[in-house]
Structure 1
Amino acid sequence: MSDVQTWIKETVSTTPVVLFMKGTAQFPQCGFSGRAIQILKACGVENIATVNVLDDPEVRQGIKDFSNWPTVPQLYVKGEFVGGTDIMNEMFASGELKTLLDA
């Protein structure tokens, strides 16, 4: 396992809710990342841990390899990959995401 993969694994295992995104929670750099932040805030998540994949090309590619998911943002809750913005939207609409985050 590469250093980046090890770092990603540690990050998602030790941080209850982490969003790998383009930009930051304060300044999202793409619409999907912005929407993901809005959804998490609407679910009552106040301290959103984010990783800006634009800061490091190795992390940007590494997270895609780690999850076997081609796009960013990617949400992890309690070490488990939840999905990207579309999946977050669906889970938010059904109430499933809030339940997962509150658990």
Structure 2
Amino acid sequence: MGFLVAKSAIEDGNEVTIFCAGDGVTSLHDITTKEMQGVGLGTLSDHLEELKSQGAKLYASGKSAQARGITKEQLESLGFTPATPNKLVELTFEADRVLIY
């Protein structure tokens, strides 16, 4: 649902930045992005493609990904930049609004 909200926000002309950390990174496994979907909401891969094509800034915790067997290359293939907690803090303080889903 969080990715759908982000997709809706960017479609409405808002700037969107996503930072996945901890268990949120688990959804970035290749098979998960293709199969994960809410009832009637479309697949995660569809949402990610739209977010990428609309210019969303996508980040994922490099350490969380590594701990879950997701490589830097896999993150980058999805459009995510591996990042540290410091980047999350930076993004939070730069943002006018922050939604946590």
TM-score by length of 1: 0.31
The structure, 1 or 2, with the larger RCO (C-alpha pairs under 8 Å, 6+ apart) is 1
TM-score by length of 2: 0.32
